Structure 1
Amino acid sequence: MKKFIGTGVALVTPFHANTSVDTNALANIVEHVIKGGINYLVVLGTTAESVVLTADEKIRVVDTIVKANNKRLPIVLGIGGNNTAAVVNELKTTDLEHIDAILSVSPYYNRPTQEGIYQHFKAIAEASPKPIILYNVPGRTSSNMLPETVIRLATDFDNIIAVKEAAGDIVQAMRLLKDVPKDFLVISGDDMISLPMVFAGGAGVISVIGQGYPKEFSEMIRLGLTGSVKEANKLHYKIMPAIDYIFEEGNPAGIKAVFEKLNLSRATVRLPLVEASDALKQKISTFTDGLNS
């Protein structure tokens, strides 16, 4: 699965002022990240505010991205949840013609045991016509998919090809990297530690900040993958403040403020999220102005 090595971006869903989906802005963002050197697109993840989109809106978002992408980059589609039967049904009923892989989050709220997590993904693996990228994000799910569970799934199912590891724990990531099967990809889900994970053997990142500053961030990951430590670190430390900023008031409020600064979309989000504060927007504006100065 070499197509998923490098930088993927978890695309936002831009909204008009009335919170309707802005498909023109979305198409422009797709063009922005492709021209910036991103390796693949991730659609309808957390950053897309997928939990507050209707079924029809989700179809419009996917169709817009597929059309704008025009087969240039691989596309990963988020299909996951805490109702195993519903996820399986969605996999069976969704048009996946233009999709290269599925990103599926570990079950949230229910707080299953490790065996429950394994059985959940076993059912998904047996139902999915596309390769699966597991998604471990304990800060949102309230349960940690342990390395032992990921390794077990990776070993037992050929179509489980990767994990987006977003526990924010470099030691846990290293335990994964040490023991996963040879061709299994460990992908960072944390922008701040994506480069250290690459240095440890990771395959890259599914990024939030990377869609705002695709040229700089994707180059950083490329340098990391080729062992250019000094050059990669220089870019990492240059981008670091922006990573803090975009998560300061929650995701995707921060990254949408970046897009507003870049005149690519409004900063509008849907409740229960609220738009970034003027103070945060000013920090992001100042950083953006100085990035290439």
Structure 2
Amino acid sequence: MKEFIGTGVALITPFLKDLSIDVEGLKRVVNFNIENGIDYLVVLGTTAESATLSNEEKQVVIATIKGANNNRVPLVLGIGGNNTAAVSQEMQSQDLTGISAILSVSPYYNKPTQEGIYQHFATIAKVASLPIIIYNVPGRTASNIEPETVVRLANDFKNIVAIKEAAGDIVQAMKLISVCPKDFLVISGDDMITLPMILAGGAGVISVIGEGFPKEFSNMVTFGLEKNVDKAYNIHYKIAPAIDYIFEEGNPAGIKYVFKKLGICEDYVRLPLVGISSSLSLKLDAFINSFDS
């Protein structure tokens, strides 16, 4: 799983004004990230607004990213949900050609117990044909995957190879790193604590801010993995204000505005999400203008 050590980015889905998929814009996003040093791409994660995409649109997104990528970097596909049977079926029916791993979010809304979470991932692991990266994001799912449950899954299923840990809790992240098997990857899902997680022994990040500033964020991650602390933190503190800004009014509205400012695609989002406020756009404008200078 060395291909998932480093910087992964959770790709947005650009839309045109009529809210149809902006295929050309998506190609530009893919090329921008690969050309600026990211290590792998995550397709149809939360940041892709996958909850508002039809099955047909999801296939368009997958095909577009595969074509633009042209086998240059590994692809991770998001397949998850709160209906275990449906997730298992999708794992088996989806064409996974050209995909290196699956990112699967912990069941949301249902608020399962730790045993329920274990049984959910155990069920999909038994049918999955690719490695699975567990996604823990309690701020969205309303339940946390405890480190003990992660260890149990990692030990019981060899194809559960990593966790995207987005609880925003550095203490929990450090516990995961210390108790999980040595070959199990603990990947940051929280941009602000990515660097301390890496310095504590984490494997890298699946990032949102990284797709807007891929060169700088990838460099930070590389320096962190090399334990070049001063250079890594210099970049962290330079980017940190933008991390707060892009999440201030919800994801992916903030990062989409960054792409608009960079001239890569427009910042349209689908309801129930809305675009960022004029006051936040002014803050992002000022940051990007000063960042480039």
Corresponding residue for residue 83 of structure 1: 83
Corresponding residue for residue 116 of structure 1: 116
Q: Take 1:4 and 1:21, find their aligned partners in 2: how far apart are those partners? A: 28
* Displacement after TM superposition at 1:126 (Å): 0.3
Q: Report the secondary structure of 1:186's partner residue.
A: strand
Corresponding residue for residue 183 of structure 2: 183
What is the identity, as a one-letter code, of the residue corresponding to 2:190? D
Return 129-138 or 276-285, whichever deviates more.
276-285
1:211-265 CA-partner distances (Å, limit 9, x unpaired): 0000000000000000000000000000000000000000000000000000111
Corresponding residue for residue 282 of structure 1: 282
What is the identity, as a one-letter code, of the residue corresponding to 1:73? V
* Displacement after TM superposition at 1:281 (Å): 1.3
Matches within 5 A, 1:136-215: 136-215=136-215
Q: Report the secondary structure of 1:164's partner residue.
A: strand
Corresponding residue for residue 217 of structure 2: 217
Kindly indicate whether residue 45 of structure 2 is the aligned counterpart of residue 38 of structure 1. no
Matches within 5 A, 1:11-30: 11-30=11-30
Q: Take 1:105 and 1:256, find their aligned partners in 2: how far apart are those partners? A: 22
Return 276-285 or 111-120, whichever deviates more.
276-285
1:188-228 CA-partner distances (Å, limit 9, x unpaired): 00000000000000000000000000000000000000000
Q: Report the secondary structure of 1:76's partner residue.
A: strand
**Greater than 4 Å deviation, 4+ residue runs:** none
Contact in 2 for aligned 1:151/1:179 (Cα 8 Å): yes
Corresponding residue for residue 238 of structure 1: 238
Per the normalisation by structure 1, the TM-score is 0.99
Q: Take 2:76 and 2:264, find their aligned partners in 1: how far apart are those partners? A: 22
* Displacement after TM superposition at 1:285 (Å): 1.4
What is the identity, as a one-letter code, of the residue corresponding to 1:152? R
* Displacement after TM superposition at 1:289 (Å): 1.2
Q: Report the secondary structure of 1:162's partner residue.
A: strand
Q: Report the secondary structure of 1:133's partner residue.
A: strand
Q: Take 2:83 and 2:69, find their aligned partners in 1: how far apart are those partners? A: 31
Q: Take 2:276 and 2:44, find their aligned partners in 1: how far apart are those partners? A: 21
What is the identity, as a one-letter code, of the residue corresponding to 1:185? L
Q: Take 1:60 and 1:113, find their aligned partners in 2: how far apart are those partners? A: 35
Corresponding residue for residue 65 of structure 2: 65
* Displacement after TM superposition at 1:292 (Å): 3.1
Corresponding residue for residue 131 of structure 1: 131
Gaps of 5+ in 1: none
Q: Report the secondary structure of 1:256's partner residue.
A: helix
Q: Report the secondary structure of 2:103's partner residue.
A: strand
* Displacement after TM superposition at 1:290 (Å): 1.0
Q: Take 1:76 and 1:277, find their aligned partners in 2: how far apart are those partners? A: 32
* Displacement after TM superposition at 1:182 (Å): 1.1
Q: Take 1:264 and 1:285, find their aligned partners in 2: how far apart are those partners? A: 15
Corresponding residue for residue 229 of structure 2: 229
1:140-186 CA-partner distances (Å, limit 9, x unpaired): 00000000000100010000000000000000001100010010000
**What's the Cα RMSD here?**
0.5
What is the percentage of aligned positions where both structures have the same residue? 65
Kindly indicate whether residue 52 of structure 2 is the aligned counterpart of residue 48 of structure 1. no
What is the identity, as a one-letter code, of the residue corresponding to 2:5? I
Q: Take 1:9 and 1:153, find their aligned partners in 2: how far apart are those partners? A: 25
Q: Take 1:214 and 1:228, find their aligned partners in 2: how far apart are those partners? A: 19
Q: Take 2:223 and 2:55, find their aligned partners in 1: how far apart are those partners? A: 39
* Displacement after TM superposition at 1:56 (Å): 0.3
Q: Take 2:199 and 2:147, find their aligned partners in 1: how far apart are those partners? A: 19
Contact in 2 for aligned 1:267/1:276 (Cα 8 Å): no
